[in-house]
Structures are given as C-alpha cells and as structure tokens.
Amino acid sequence: MTALLEIKDLRAEISGKQILNGYDLVVNAGEIHAIMGPNGSGKSTLSYVLSGRPGYEITGGQALLNGADLSEMTVDERAAAGLFLAFQYPLEVPGVPTMTFLRAALNSQRKKRGEEELSSPELLKRIREAAKVLGMDPEMLRRAVNVGFSGGEKKRAETLQMMLLEPKLCILDETDSGLDIDALKVVASGVNQMRSKDRGMIVITHYQRLLDYITPDVVHVQSAGRIVRTGGKELALELEATGYAQYQSEAA
Amino acid sequence: MAGDNRKPLQPTQAESGLVELFAARRISGDNLPSLCAEAFEAFQAKGLPSRREEAWKYTDLRSLMRDVKPLATPPEPAAKELAREAGLLKETGFRRIVFVGGYFAPELSDLQDIEEGLSIGSLSEALATQDSFAASYLGKIYPAEDSAFALNTAFMSEGVVVRVRPGATIERPLHFVFVANATQPATYFLRSLVVVEKGARATFIESFEGADQCDYHVNAATEMVVGEEARVERIKISREGDQALHVSTLVATLAQNARLNDFALTIGGSLVRNQTFVKLEGRGAAANLRGANILAGKEHADSTLLLDHAVEGSESKALFKSVLDDDSQAVFQGKIRVRPAAQHTDARMMARALLLSGAAQAICKPELEIFADDVQCGHGSTVGALDQELKFYLMARGIAEADAVGLLVEAFIGETLDGIEHSSVRDHMTSLVAELNERK
Amino acid sequence: MAAVQETVEQVRRIGADQYKYGFVTDIESDLAPKGLSEDVIRFISAKKNEPEWMLDWRLDAYRRWLTMSEPTWALVNYPAIDYQDLYYYAAPKSTAGPKSLDEVDPELLRTYEKLGIPLHEREILAGVQRPDEEPGRRVAVDAVFDSVSVATTFKEELAKVGVIFMPISEALREHPELVRKYLGTVVPTSDNYFATLNSAVFSDGSFVYIPPGVRCPMELSTYFRINEKNTGQFERTLIIADKGAYVSYLEGCTAPKRDENQLHAAVVELVALDDAEIKYSTVQNWYPGDEEGRGGIYNFVTKRGDCRGANAKISWTQVETGSAITWKYPSCVLRGDNSRGEFYSIAISNGRQQVDSGTKMIHLGKGTSSRIISKGISAGRSSNAYRGLVSAHRKADGARNFTQCDSLLIGDACSAHTVPYMEAKNASCTFEHEATTSKISEDVLFYCMQRGLSQEDAIALVVNGFVHDVLQQLPMEFAVEAQKLISVSLEGSVG
C-alpha cells in the first residue's frame, strides 16, 4: 500500500540557507502525527516546503503524496491533490468576502479533479454545518477573508476551510498559538470531527496542551531540520516535563 | 509635451536687482568659483521661483519678494552686542558657532577643546584658501534643480564647514547661531557644509533669529553627507523677525545604513520656506524628517520635501504638524519618489494641520511617485479645528481657555519633538517650544 | 519562479489582442472639411440647424481657444497634436437625424448589437426585464456614433413623466430655453484648453432634464462610439436634475483599433438643484492602443457637477480601462449648503497606457461633504496617476472630506503616482486623506493558491477585492460589465 505521505531524505533551503537536512517521515491514511520541537527547529518550514511556498527550494530527497512527487506540482495542484495547510498566521484578503473565497477555492479544486462544481445551495448548506460545529456566526462569512478577525476567529476560519475542502492530508501549523482554552477546544472538536481512516494529519506544535485535545498516534521531535526522535503519545508528556534542552544540544 | 510652453516673464524688480548684485560681486570677488557663476546662469534661466513651478505653487517667491536688500556688510560692534544678548538655547552647554549679520563672530563662538575627529571652519575661509575638501563637496552632493538653491550657490560667502571623521562620536551638540543684524536691512546668503564620515555620529542645531520691524532676507542652505553607518541628528529653528523673508534648503545624501533624523521648527518670520531634498542612495539608509510650524498673524510657512529613494531597501518617515492662528498659512508639500531600482522601500508620510482661526489656511500636498512594484508607501494628512470637547473638558477642570488651548497645541506638536534622539536637545527644545508658544 | 514574476511575463505578452471592440463599421460618412476654422464651425452649426446664439457661442469659444495653449502639467507624454489634421464632424450618411428606430441604418443597429447595446425597445423589454424584476431596471439608451446621435430609446415613455432625454442637438431645437439657461454654466467656455475646443466644435451628446420631484423611472445611458478615421469626438452632455429630482445615468464608450491616435475631448455638465441627486457612472473602454503604444484614443475630458441647491448630491463613479491617454477629473462644486459630492474610481492601465485622473471637490457651502475613493492599478509599462484637489472656502463652515487613494502595481516596469492637493481655508473643516501604494503580496497569493486557486484566479480575486469598494457603487448591470472588463484589461495577469 502506498503511504499517504512519504518524505525521504528531504533537503531544502531558503535563500541558500539549508533548513531541512535529510528529513524522513511516513504518514499513513488514518494517522495523526504530532511534530514537536524547539523554536527555530524548522517546524513551519516543513509545512511550507510541502505546500510549495515560493522561496523554499527542495535541493534533495523526495516528498510523495499518494505516490506523486510534490515538487512537480504547483501550489494549487498540491491543494487539489488534497494537501491542506492551516496557517499559523492566516493572511487577510481585503475586499473578498469569505463566502466568495470558499466557493472559488472549492470549485477550483473540484474542477482540477474533474468533479462537478458544487451548487450554491449545497455549498451554503455545507458551510453552515461546519460553521455550527465551530460556533461561528455565519454573518462573519460575509466579511472579507480574515480581515478584522481576532486571532481565535482566524484559527476557526482556517478550520472551517479545512472542513469544507475535505483534504486528504491536513497540516496544522501551530494552530494552538494565540488561542485561549475555550477556543482551543472548539478548534480541536472541528479537527477531531475530521479524523477518518482516509485522512492523515500532521499537527505541528511547540506545546503539549493541544495534544490533550487532539490525540496523536505518533509523536516526533524535530531539531535542526530533521526528526531526531519518534515515539507514542507519551513522548509529548515527557517533553512537557523535560523541555527541549537535550534535543537542542543533540543537534549542536 | 514636457516643459512649460508659456511665454517667459519680464524680469521683476527683484530679479533685476539680483543681476546687479551678482555683477557687483563678480567685480569685487577675487577668485569667485566657477560654480557660483554657473549657478547664477542657472538661476537667470528660470528666474525667481513662481507658482508656475509646481514645487513653488503655494509660495510664489517671484511676487512675494518685491525687492532685493543690499548684501550684508560687516556688523558694527553695536550689532554684535545686540546679538550677544539674543540667543535661543543659550544656557544649554551646546557648542555655539555664532554668525552676526552674515559674518562669523569668533569672539561670540566657542572653539575651545574641539573634540578629536571634529573639524570646524568657516566657509569664507574655505573659499579664500580654495580648500580642496570643501571644494570637492560644495554644489556636488545632490544637484537639486531649484532656483532658490541655485541663487544660494551663486552668492554663497559665509557659513560653517564641518567634518566629522570616520568613527568619531561627537556627543556635545554643535549649535550654529545665525543672528540677523538688527541695525540694517540686508540679504544674507548662508551656506554650510556638513560631512559626517563612515560610522561617525553628531548632532547639529541651526538656529536663525532676527529682530522684528527689520526688513531682511535670508537664503540659507546646508549641504550634508551622511556616510556609511553614520548617524546625524539635525535641528533647525527659524525664529526670524516679523518682516523677514527666509528661504532655506537642506540637501542631504545618505549612504548605506546611514541615518538622518531631522526636525525643523518654524515659529516666526513673515515668510519661511524650508525645502529639504534627501537622497537615500545606500541600502538600509533611513531618513526621519519632522517639522512643526506654529504660526500667527500673517505668517506663511512652507515645508517642501523630496524623499528620493534611489536604491533597494531604504526607509523614510515624515511627520509634519502645523498650528495656525489669525491669518497665517501653512503649506506642506511632500514627495516620496521611489526609483525603479528601489525595491523594498518603506516610506510613510503624515501631515496634520490644526486651524485655530477662521482665517487661517492649511494647504497640503503629499505626493507619491512610484516606479518600483515591491514597496510599501503611504501618506496621510488631516486638517481640522481644535477638539472643542477636549478644550471644554480642560476648562471644566479649571484651566483658563488660553492655557487649555496652549496645552492642546503643545500636545499636538509634542509628537514631532518626541522624535529628537539626543535627550538633552529634546528637553531643551520641548521647553523652548513651550516658552515660544506661550509668548505667541 | 515567483508567482508575481510569472504574472509580469504574462502581462508583457498581452496587448491589443485583448480589445474586442476594435472592429470598424463600414458605413458612408458625411465629413466636415478637414481642419478647424470659423467656416468649419459654421458648417457644424448649420448641419445641426442651430439657433444664431449657439453659433455665436461656438465662435466665441473658438476665438478664445486660439489664444490658449495646451496644458502640460499632467503626467502624460504624447507627440504634439495637429489640430488641422482632424475631422471635426463625421456623421453616418444615411441618418439625417434620428427619427424612429425603424429608420436607423441596419448596419448601425448591428454595430450596437455587436457591442452588446440593444437599441430595439421591444428587445430590451423582452430581454433585459425579466418578470421578477421591477420596471426600474430598464435602461433608456442614447447611441452616439461619431458626431451624431443615431438613436434614443424610450423617449416617449420618459416624456410621460416629464423627463427629457434626447440628443443635445435636438434639445437645442426643441428646448432652446432650457439648454441656453444651463449650457456652459458649470464648465464655462473659457474653462480649459480642451473644454474650450469642445465648446467651439461639439457635435452631439445627451441632454437630460428631470423635472422637480421626479425620480427618473429608469436608468439613462449614452453609448459613445468613435468609428471614422482621423476624427475627433467632441460630445457634450448636459444633465439637469431640478428640485428634488433623481437620476442615474450611465455612459459607455468604445472605438475601433486604428494605428493613429484619435482625440476625444468631451464636456459633461451636471446641475443638481435643491434636494436633487445625480448619479453618473462611466465605464470607459476606448481603444487603448497596441502593446507598443501605437494608436489608441486620447481621452481629454472635462466633467463637472454643480450642486447648485441645498442638500443636492452628485456622485461620480468611473471604471477607466481604455484609452491611450486619459486626462480626466470629474469634479463637484459643492455650492448649496449641505450638498454632497462623491467620486469613486477604478483606473486600470496596462501596456503603454497613461492615466492622469482624479477629481476636484470644491466646498463652497456650509455643511458640505465629500468622499473620494480611488483605486489605481498599473500593469505592463503603463503609468497611472491620481490627481485630486479638495478645497474648503471661507464660507464652507463644517466642510468635510474623506479621501482614500490606493495604488496597486503589477510588474516592475509600470509606475504609480499620487498627487492630492488639499486647501483648507476654513477652520471648521475636517479633511482626512490616506493613500497607499503596494503590490499584490506574494504571501496572499500563496495563501489563495494553497486553497486551490490557480495563480490567475488568485490575482483576479485579490484585484477584485482591491476595487470592491468602488464596484459596489455601480448599478448592478454595470458592475457585472465592469468586473468583466477589469479581468479583460488585465488578461494574462487575471483570469
């Protein structure tokens, strides 16, 4: 069986600076992997390399999504292939209503996959359902994408987009940053609702607390641009107790 | 289609006067640098700047300058005595370099214990000795195409020449004091050169003052070079007499990572024009320009800026505020130019005017001229009256109306003073503004 | 390669091919003798059977024009115009003057159909107005072809409520007193070089009068088409909203692709009396020239509205995508107390286009207010300038203005300029001005593409978001057309 995501000896750099140094990771459908690590260990970098952010250049190794080489796809092709990145700092798109944005994104992906466009009433229905799970006021969706949203609202909106686009691989980049505990629970419930045997997730986080609500199957510790240790969910608790100091020295 | 196809104008009385003045200078002046003659030709081709010129649209010098005052003659002792009494920022301990009636007054200046790395001289001396250092910079720093500046170059005779050598930090501010001669009407052409070399730091103050009821013209210009990694702070104060016409030009270039922090205060003079041309020609260069005009009567003050971003990755900020009472008038014209190579420029400009009287006028023209796409540029401006509710609130707390207005005016101006980095200069300037504002 | 860089490449490749209104209608024309002279002016006036005072008015303007010189302050560059090498009057031969739609040359009707402007009233009734729509959705059209109006629809129906909507040449014959009362009172014959030229030679345009208290039952629209070679178009529009009246007026323009430049020097005058409101919308899509800057229209237009009465309101909305050169400043004179002026603008330049456009808000009356929202988008090797004046005069107590002008740059060979003038001569006025210049953020593009949008769709989305505030001001049908036009104008960079 082909893995959902297979990363083999991946090397990447940004403006000539090496940031991933031989990264190996396999995520199968149905699994949730947590990636933890100290600040500056390149956790967000991995998400940007996989999603194809301009400026992040793969210099060696491979990243395969369902067997297809990600480096050969444009950003939007990767999205249509099922890769979703929940941004740590979601961008604002002034003047574009969230609803318009969601419709454009969803239909654009469906078109690329050779699927029918979704009718407006059907789309609306799905959006309302997702908004309900996340406790979002549908009025908010008339406002421009992320403009004037609080930190918590932005994270909810990211989760809403994820629920709507039904990706195969979700990468959650520091989704817990800037969230209070109540918002964190709401976002986590949205994420948990998306757990399925067909879907894999990578949860990138600095703190253990998110993992109280989204239970991972595997926990990795990343340092200096590669994975240095892998374990079960108990590893997260251990890290909470001991901190990252030992991994920083290990990397050095 | 470029250019002005309108007919040339007949020379005005002032323009003809200047021609005579220059002819006289040419005869008397031995070794008049060719630079001066060329500048006068450039001036003659355009004449005095008028509203037909976009940059002078709101300050029509051609019609406002009715005649030409004679060139200044050396001041008599009485004038010097008067000047000794005058003096803004006198008890501050700053190093004072004093000019009276357009002439250097060494006996009133403090030239003791000059710091290492600092040299101070007078322009007259530099011209007389054909000093090669001064000659390599004068008129060559940034060729601002402006006829008032050209006129200054044509007639330049006295001013300060300062050099701060690489790495030197001059903590004690240098204060150039220009006092008009109260005993005779005259035209003063003052020209200073400030070269701050690599990694050096210095603070300069230029103050211009003169007596009321004395008819005189000042045309001052400062050319400045801020070298790599150097930091310069410059304060300019115009406290001219109520008849005075004052035009001053700052021309500056900033090298890589150089910083210029500039503040201009205008609080006197019948007509004051401050024009500033800054070219950011090194990566990482940063210019922070601020200005405050506190005007009353029929005073007219014009602040015109050009922030010329020539290379990638430079930054500029501008903040100008005017408080206008009676029939006074403030003009702000600020242009941010981003040349094609100047990607990643960050430029912000803000101009605010507070109108205290129904007859006061504020004119504001902030311009963006952008030729590079990856930039962040913006400007804003506001014009409005004093917040009546705020005034009422202060008065309800027992503050008299005039004091309440004074407080609000100081608060309004305060932001421009806060940007002064040299803490002692900032303190003295803040009290000076409070004091002058009260007198007004 | 960075996304924006690719966009730039694509923008570079696009040019004249995108202009889909560039066809020529093969129709015989009546031309005035080439060049400009008093005789030509007499010829035009005679062609239109004008009253004597009108001819004198024109000749006055002409004599004044001879003493004036072309303005040079705008940020535009073009070779000198030879005013003697132009035709000042061109009219399709078959139409002596529009009578009824049945008499209009079928070739002309086909032209307008091709342009998407149906001139058959029946078609409009059947096509545009769907059963679920209110009747207010209908649009009456005055079609101006070169120098004459060829058809005006819904005249009778409008006449029932007292609205006069007809070619100005006809109004001069049928309502001379009204025309004489208002013509040249907003834009005097001496106003500026191009307006003065227009006053001397103007050929046709629309005349609208809305009587007191009447809300015009449908949108009025004029569609301008330049067809003939070497012809200048000098239309003149005059709209009067009497006390308490309301009208929404739309204007559209196209021209064939030709290698030489063509001059368009129009004058539009609006008069709003007490409590009246005029909403004037333009979608300007004159031929912009090819990618090397050959051909295209010189659009030198004077548009001004006079809020002559208390509580009057005039609102200008413009979407400027065409013309080789645009020199245009739709303005409001806020004379009446508490009157209000608005200016909403989208100006897009691509290829070698040059735009110098903006507005003037002249606050004369007490409690007057104005609002300016300008969005400039420069792409290709174009230059795009906003130039605006806001002034408050001595008696304009409590005048308020808010101005926002934003520029977006696509590619590194274009330029954007912002030149706002603010002149406050009244202490109780409040002026606020904000301006920004930026490019489409790479990060925002990446964000949109991560959600599955192609690069072109992502840019289109961001640009539409950028102009959103202005598009909202357009009547719905026009907004849809404008949105399409924006996409076409930036084709290569946008969808």
One-letter amino acid at B343 equals: Q
Q: Would the pLDDT of C232 be above 80?
A: no
Q: Would the pLDDT of C12 be above 70?
A: no
Cβ contacts below 8 Å, chain B against chain C, sum to: 130
- Residue C256 pLDDT grade (very low, low, confident, very high; cuts 50, 70, 90): low
Q: Would the pLDDT of C487 be above 80?
A: no
- Residue C295: closest CA among C385, C376, C230: C230
Selected for mutation to probe chain C from B327, B346, B370 (highest C CB count within 10 Å) is B370
Nearest to C465 among A85, A93, A105 (CB): A93
- In C, minimum Cα distance to B350 occurs at C434
What are the residues whose beta carbons fall under 8 Å from the beta carbon of A46, sequence distance 6 or more?
A20, A23, A35, A204, A222
- In B, minimum Cα distance to C423 occurs at B363
- Residue B314: closest CA among B334, B286, B337: B286
Judged by CB atoms closer than 8 Å, whether chains meet at A93 and C448 is answered as: yes
Nearest to B376 among C70, C77, C438 (CB): C438
Nearest to A95 among C448, C453, C464 (CB): C464
What's the pLDDT at B28? 66
Helix ranges (H only) for A29-119 are 43-51, 75-80, 98-112
Residues above pLDDT 90, as percent of chain B = 64
ipTM over cut 0.95? no
Residues of C in contact with B374 (CB under 8 A): 412, 439
**Cα of C252 to nearest chain A Cα, Å:** 25
What's the pLDDT at B276? 96
Judged by CB atoms closer than 8 Å, whether chains meet at A54 and C451 is answered as: no
C334 touches chain A (CB under 8 A): no
Q: Would the pLDDT of B307 be above 90?
A: yes
- In B, minimum Cα distance to C75 occurs at B2
What's the pLDDT at C20? 65
- Nearest-angstrom CA–CA distance, A145 and A92: 6
Q: Would the pLDDT of C186 be above 90?
A: yes
Q: Would the pLDDT of C135 be above 90?
A: no
What DSSP string describes A103-158?
Answer: HHHHHHHHHHTTPPPPPHHHHHHHHHHHHHHTT--GGGGGSEETTT--HHHHHHHH
What's the pLDDT at C114? 63
Residues of A in contact with C446 (CB under 8 A): 53-54, 75
Q: Would the pLDDT of B155 be above 90?
A: yes
- Residue B5 pLDDT grade (very low, low, confident, very high; cuts 50, 70, 90): very low
Mean pLDDT by 10 residues, chain A (252 residues): 90 89 93 87 87 90 94 91 92 87 89 87 88 86 88 89 93 87 87 92 89 92 88 85 72 40
With touching defined as 3 or more inter-chain CB pairs under 8 Å, the answer for chains C and B is: yes
What's the pLDDT at B184? 83
Q: Would the pLDDT of B222 be above 90?
A: yes
What's the pLDDT at B384? 87
Residues of B in contact with C424 (CB under 8 A): 353, 355, 361-364, 383
In chain A, which residues touch C (CB < 8 A)? 51-55, 74-76, 78-80, 84-85, 87, 90-96, 100-101, 104-106, 108-109, 112, 144, 161, 165
- pLDDT tens digits, B20-43: 989 888 776 566 788 899 999 999
What's the pLDDT at B181? 85
Over range B134-141, report the average pLDDT: 90
**Cα of A100 to nearest chain C Cα, Å:** 9
- pLDDT tens digits, B169-218: 999 999 999 999 878 889 999 999 999 999 999 999 999 999 888 889 99
Residues of A in contact with C449 (CB under 8 A): 74-76, 79
Chains contacting B (3 or more CB pairs within 8 Å): C
Residues of C in contact with A90 (CB under 8 A): 447
Residues above pLDDT 70, as percent of chain C = 80
Q: According to the per-residue pLDDT averaged within each range, which of A174-178, C148-152, C257-261, C355-359 is highest?
A: C355-359
What's the pLDDT at A245? 77
- Residue B399 pLDDT grade (very low, low, confident, very high; cuts 50, 70, 90): confident
Query: Whole-number mean pLDDT of chain B?
Result: 90
**Cα of C379 to nearest chain B Cα, Å:** 10
CA separation (Å) from C485 to C295, C322, C495? 20, 10, 11
Segments making up each domain of chain A, as ranges? 3-95+167-251
What's the pLDDT at B440? 63
- pLDDT tens digits, A28-70: 999 999 999 887 777 888 999 999 988 899 999 999 999 999 9
Judged by CB atoms closer than 8 Å, whether chains meet at C452 and A51 is answered as: no
- Residue B275 pLDDT grade (very low, low, confident, very high; cuts 50, 70, 90): very high
Over range C113-138, report the average pLDDT: 46
Q: Would the pLDDT of C8 be above 80?
A: no
- Residue B437 pLDDT grade (very low, low, confident, very high; cuts 50, 70, 90): confident
Question: To 5 degrees, how large is the angle CA B357–CA B361–CA B362?
Answer: 120
What's the pLDDT at C105? 66
Residues of A in contact with C451 (CB under 8 A): 79, 101, 105, 109, 161, 165
- pLDDT tens digits, C319-341: 888 888 898 999 999 999 999 99
With touching defined as 3 or more inter-chain CB pairs under 8 Å, the answer for chains B and A is: no
Compute how many other C-beta atoms are within 10 angstroms of the C-beta atom of residue B374.
18
- Residue C437: closest CA among C468, C412, C415, C421: C415
What's the pLDDT at C3? 42
Residues of B in contact with C435 (CB under 8 A): 366, 368, 378-380
What's the pLDDT at C125? 35
Over range B237-255, report the average pLDDT: 94
What's the pLDDT at A93? 87
What are the residues whose beta carbons fall under 8 Å from the beta carbon of C246, sequence distance 6 or more?
C210, C214, C215, C216, C276, C277, C278
With touching defined as 3 or more inter-chain CB pairs under 8 Å, the answer for chains A and C is: yes
Judged by CB atoms closer than 8 Å, whether chains meet at B6 and C69 is answered as: yes
Residues above pLDDT 70, as percent of chain B = 97
Compute how many other C-beta atoms are within 10 angstroms of the C-beta atom of residue C164.
18
What's the pLDDT at B224? 97
- Residue C14 pLDDT grade (very low, low, confident, very high; cuts 50, 70, 90): very low
Q: How far is CA B223 from the centre of its chain?
A: 11
Judged by CB atoms closer than 8 Å, whether chains meet at C77 and B2 is answered as: yes
Please say whether the beta carbons of C251 and C282 come within 8 A.
yes
Residues of C in contact with B367 (CB under 8 A): 417-420
Q: According to the per-residue pLDDT averaged within each range, which of B307-321, C68-82, C400-414 is highest?
A: B307-321
In chain C, which residues touch B (CB < 8 A)? 4, 69-70, 72-73, 76-78, 80, 394, 407, 409-412, 414-439
What's the pLDDT at C246? 96
Domain A3-95+167-251 sits in CATH at 3.40.50.300
Judged by CB atoms closer than 8 Å, whether chains meet at A75 and C450 is answered as: yes
